[in-house]
Amino acid sequence: MIQRFYSYYKPHRRLFIVDFSCAVIVALLELAFPLAVQWFIDSLLPGEDWPTIATVSVGLLVLYIISTLLQYIVNYWGHMLGINIETDMRQQLFQHVQKQSFKFFDNTKTGHIMSRITNDLFDIGELAHHGPEDLFIAVMTFFGAFWIMMTINIQLALVTVCILPFLVVLIIFSNMKMNKAWKQMYTEVADVNARVEDSVSGVRVVQSFTNENYEMDRFSGNNKKFRKAKLRGYKVMSFSSSGIYMMTRFMTLAVLVVGAWLVYENRLSYGEMVGFVLYVNVLFKPVDKISALMELYPKGMAGFKRFTELLDVDPDVQDKPGAEIVESLLGDISFSKVSFGYDDKRTVLNEIDLTIHAGETVAFVGPSGAGKTTICSLIPRFYDVTNGSIKIDGIDVREMTKQSLRSQIGIVQQDVFLFTGTLKENIAYGMLGATDEQIYDAAKKAHLESFIAGLPDGYETQIGERGLKLSGGQKQRIAIARMFLKNPPILILDEATSALDTETEMIIQEALTELAVNRTTLVIAHRLATIRNADRIVVVTEEGIAEQGKHDELIDQGGIFANLHRVQFQR
């Protein structure tokens, strides 16, 4: 784990070295100053050589200034190092999350992902900055100061040693406790985020049911748990820092008392006494640092552990080594003995066989929950089949790169996801880098032109968060415009018009019919009127494919489709 943590320093090696070296120099100067003071008192003052005293004072001033400058560098560049590492990690995590399969997102809360990409990394960045540097400096200063103290007066140095074992026990004990507390805190903060995400994105439902109080209570539960976990951590921390404070004061006092006695016995000079007291402070600076690290280390490491946990989730839909990059597919699709389930408990599709010819328009009908959407999500490999295979133009979809396969398939769903931004940006999502001409052309084909012309800001209109300011029919036309830009040989229309009123549906149907020209098209439809002209109709039930054939043939057969048809048109 620690090794893995260190690997993030590699790209910033230079920064680390500069920062680290400056920190070491600062620490050495800190170690030297009390010696200088001691020498000043014991050797310089009695000689009353004022010019030398003045020169030495100026020299000390220069050293202090240098030390201050170096401390600025250590502070600023050290933080820069931490921020750089944090930024790298955040980028890596975001990239990794983008690669995850649908299954991952089915089972992971958005708020949890957000909290890892934002919160968790703060502490990791802090640790990356302070961790190795402070630890090294602390150890160096501590032993350095102790060694010098030994050379000044062994008896006095031994007094300080007595307190050390207590200190070590305290540090180890609280470190263990805090580790646990911070880990708990990360779990709770992720839950808080998940709850906020859920309630805010569902706020319209919350308010329409006037369930604000219910949501508040649920949130308050999470919020209190978070408070409790965080408090537990700080309780341990306060306990240990008070303990450390107490021990340091004890030690100073002990040194003063024993030192006074030694001076009285003439075994210690005044300068040595002052120097020694100063060194007790130098000795305790690293202890302070270590106690600060004790907060940082468990926090940062708990965060890092969660970070790597997420980073180690392999996307379950991946490119095979040597996967083929396919271009301009014709769109011959064949399912052979395809079985699939979202989990091990239940199979949704069982040994489905189906052939769709290039350029054909095939409609899928059947009860909701039968598996129509599932069949279509297997083609772009949103999920991988459990058994059997799906081939396009004779090539198994698992043998193609995800990128090239998906670039050949366009999907229009019932819910159109729009991004916060302008109309134009949302249309252009179908082909990043499309020219204005191409965008206008696509909008025209999607019958969006007159709507956009009526807007004061035209293409630059802000559509609100997730397209909130648009009607269902308008959103659907944006989705269609995106498809005209993408121009894929295979098209999947999954209940694209089911949520619309009949009149809007007719307008959109026109655009969809134009879109389907020269493409292999799979249409999932509720209203049977919209699929009358399909080349073939496939009736899907929970048992699998029940019937298929042309519209009129199926009516004549008098089976499930004929039944569905009768029910719909009697109303």
**Which residues in this chain contact ligand ADP in the complex, by CB under 6 A?**
106, 342, 348, 368-374
**Which range touches Mg ion (CB under 5 A), out of 203-211, 373-381, 513-521, 534-542?**
373-381
- How many angstroms separate the most distant Cα atoms in the chain? 123
Of 242, 310, 294, residue with least CA distance to 134: 294
> Is the Cβ–Cβ distance between 422 and 462 less than 8 Å?
yes
Whichever of 334 and 377 has its CB closer to Mg ion, that residue is 377
CA 439 – CA 421 distance, rounded (Å)? 15
Amino acid at 19: D
Is residue 373 at the binding interface for Mg ion, with CB under 5 A as the rule? yes
The listed partner (Mg ion, ligand ADP, none) that binds 374, CB under 5 to 8 Å by sort, is ligand ADP
Compute how many other C-beta atoms are within 10 angstroms of the C-beta atom of residue 31: 17
106 binds, among ligand ADP, Mg ion, none (CB under 5 to 8 A by kind): ligand ADP
Binding segment (CB under 5 A) for Mg ion, from list 220-228, 297-305, 371-379, 459-467: 371-379
State in angstroms the smallest separation of the CB of 494 from Mg ion. 6
The distance of closest approach from Cβ of residue 366 to ligand ADP in the complex, given in angstroms and rounded to an integer, is 6
Closer residue to ligand ADP, CB minimum distance, 132 or 315: 315
Between CA 428 and CA 435 the distance in angstroms is 9
Q: Which does 348 bind (CB under 5 to 8 A by kind): ligand ADP, Mg ion, none?
A: ligand ADP
| Beta pairing class for 387-392 and 490-494 | unpaired
C-alpha–C-alpha distance, residues 53 and 55, integer Å? 5
In the complex, what is the shortest distance from the CB of residue 437 to ligand ADP, in angstroms, rounded to a whole number? 37
CB 489 within 8 A of CB 328: yes
Give 373 or 530: the residue with its C-beta nearer to Mg ion. Answer: 373
In the complex, what is the shortest distance from the CB of residue 373 to Mg ion, in angstroms, rounded to a whole number?
Answer: 3
How many residues comprise the chain?
A: 571
Q: Does 291 bind Mg ion (CB under 5 A)?
A: no
CB 354 within 8 A of CB 538: yes
User: Counting contacts by CB under 5 A, is residue 408 touching Mg ion?
Assistant: no
Report how far apart, in Å, the C-alpha atoms of 310 and of each of 95, 96, 198, 388, 494 are: 12, 9, 21, 31, 32
Q: How far, in whole angstroms, is CA 28 from its chain's centroid?
A: 40
Q: Parallel, antiparallel, or unpaired: how do β-strands 520-524 and 349-356 relate?
A: unpaired
Which residue's CB is nearer to Mg ion, number 7 or number 368?
Answer: 368
Comparing CB distances to ligand ADP, the nearer of 33 and 102 is 102
Compute and round to an integer the Cα radius of gyration of the chain: 36
Q: Locate 46 and state its tokens.
A: 């009695």
Q: How far is the CB of 368 from Mg ion (least distance, A)?
A: 7
Which residues does 240 contact at the CB level (< 8 Å), separation at least 6? 170, 171, 173, 174, 291, 294
Cβ-based nearer residue to ligand ADP, 371 or 410 = 371
Task: Pick one of Mg ion, ligand ADP, none as the site partner of residue 371 (Cβ within 5 to 8 A by kind).
Answer: ligand ADP
| Half-sphere exposure for 570 (CA within 13 Å, toward CB) | 6
Nearer to ligand ADP, 11 or 369 (CB): 369
Say which entry of ligand ADP, Mg ion, none residue 342 contacts (CB below 5 to 8 A, set by partner kind): ligand ADP
The least CB distance from residue 348 to ligand ADP, in Å, is 4
Residue nearest to Mg ion (CB): 373
Q: Which positions touch Mg ion (CB under 5 A)? A: 373
